[in-house]
Amino acid sequence: MRLDKLLSNLGVSSRSACRDLIRKGRVSVNGSVCRDGAFHVPDDAEVALDGKKMDTRVERHLMLYKPAGCLTAAEDKSSKTVMDLLPNQYRTLGCMPVGRLDKDTTGLLILTTDGDLAHRLITPRYHVDKVYFARVDEPLTKEDETAFSQGIELKDFTCMPARLERVEDTLGKVTVQEGKYHQVKRMFGARGKRVLQLHRASFGTLVLDEQMQPGDFRELTEKETTALYRAAGKTNE
Ligand code: URA
């Protein structure tokens, strides 16, 4: 990839501003200053800006602890969105949420620049588990567990078999492989129960980091990234 394009893709600045930086000799490739924006950067090259080595991975992946009260959307005129919780650089890089959590749902949200990975993670075909904890308004029963495992029938579709485990009387751990609109809430609704709180604890192999607080985010580690790609039947090499 051209050096100016690489820098702007990495969120440094606009393409023309990156060309300026390069012309001024602030960028080096494999230890030598490069003043040519059109220079083709080899895949494994070390690129530094003002002497500081840059992370040149093209695809970027984040975990965000979504707090209640913000929308899973790129932007919204009246409400705060998950993108408002991130530095602008990630928007520039093209990080987008993988699927949606409702405004009042908390927990793990993945954001990635890899659209194909995002698609695979949310498509039931790849059988990627999403685990939620749901606090409901009525005690859960054995019959609820059986109904979830058989595939709950909603007005417009029949859910795939899911797993419901009773953690407490009114707290259930739910594992689903699909993510239709309000799905978990609607599944409980079909059993005559209202979800009072919903929290996503994991998505595929990725577990919400217990050090994180609502609103926090971090990049995935290499190990987490590799495992997630594998869960989606893809490789990140
Ligand atoms: N199911 C729901 O009902 N809401 C969510 O936010 C996620 C899954």
pLDDT tens for 109-121 read 999 999 999 999 9
Domain boundaries, the chain: 3-53, 61-124+205-231, 129-203
Q: How far is ligand 1, taken at its centre, from the CA of residue 109, in Å?
A: 12
| Eight-class DSSP state of 69 | T
Which has the higher per-residue pLDDT, 234 or 230? Answer: 230
Same fold yes or no, 61-124+205-231 and 129-203: yes
What number does the ligand 1 atom closest to the CA of 72 have?
A: 6
CATH superfamily of 129-203: Alpha-L RNA-binding motif (3.30.70.1560)
Residue 178 pLDDT > 90: yes
| Eight-class DSSP state of 129 | -
Is the domain spanning 61-124+205-231 CATH 3.30.70.580? The answer is yes
Q: Which of 174, 198, 200 to mutate to test the pocket of ligand 1 (most atoms within 8 A of CB)?
A: 198
To which residue do tokens 């919780």 refer? 85
Q: Which of 71, 148, 176, 184 to mutate to test the pocket of ligand 1 (most atoms within 8 A of CB)?
A: 184
Tell me the Ramachandran region of residue 196: left when phi exceeds 0, alpha when psi lies from -120 to 50, beta otherwise: alpha
The span from the CA of 114 to the CA of 95, in Å, is 8
Residue 5 pLDDT > 90: no
Question: What value does the mean pLDDT take over residues 106-135?
Answer: 95
Could you tell me the pLDDT band of residue 63, with boundaries at 50, 70 and 90? very high
The residue whose CA is least distant from atom 4 of ligand 1 is 182
Helices and strands, number each (H, E), in the chain: 7, 13
The residue whose CA is least distant from atom 1 of ligand 1 is 184
Instruction: Tell me if 108 sits within 8 A of 130, measured CB to CB.
Output: no
9-13, 46-50, 201-205, 220-224: lowest mean pLDDT where? 9-13
Beta strand 195-203 pairing with 106-112 = parallel
Question: What value does the mean pLDDT take over residues 32-44?
Answer: 90
- Mean pLDDT of all residues belonging to the chain: 93
Is 102 an active-site residue? yes
Q: In the structure encoding, which two tokens stand for residue 80, read together?
A: 């705060």
Residue 169 pLDDT > 90: yes
Pocket of ligand 1 from Cβ distances under 6 Å: 101-102, 105, 182-185, 198
To which residue do tokens 């690129």 refer? 47
Q: What is the dihedral of CA 116, 117, 120, 121, to 10 degrees?
A: -150
Residue 48 pLDDT > 70: yes
At 55, give phi and psi (nearest 5°): -85, 105
Among 102, 129, 209, 216, which one carries the catalytic annotation?
102
Could you tell me the pLDDT band of residue 208, with boundaries at 50, 70 and 90? very high
Please name which of 39, 35, 51, 50 lies closest in space to residue 6, comparing C-alpha atoms.
39
| The predicted structure's pLDDT at residue 237 | 67
Could you tell me the pLDDT band of residue 236, with boundaries at 50, 70 and 90? confident
Which has the higher per-residue pLDDT, 137 or 42? Answer: 137
Question: Right CATH number for 3-53 from 2.40.50.140, 3.10.290.10, 3.40.50.1970, 3.40.50.300?
Answer: 3.10.290.10
Please name which of 182, 184, 177, 191 lies closest in space to residue 144, comparing C-alpha atoms.
191
Question: What value does the mean pLDDT take over residues 193-219?
Answer: 97
| The predicted structure's pLDDT at residue 93 | 81
Question: What value does the mean pLDDT take over residues 212-236?
Answer: 93
Residue at 216: amino acid letter: D
Q: How far is ligand 1, taken at its centre, from the CA of residue 132, in Å?
A: 8
Question: What value does the mean pLDDT take over residues 174-187?
Answer: 95
Q: How far is ligand 1, taken at its centre, from the CA of residue 195, in Å?
A: 10
Contacts of 43 (CB under 8 A, 6+ apart): none
Q: What is the largest CA-CA distance in the chain?
A: 70
Question: What value does the mean pLDDT take over residues 196-217?
Answer: 97
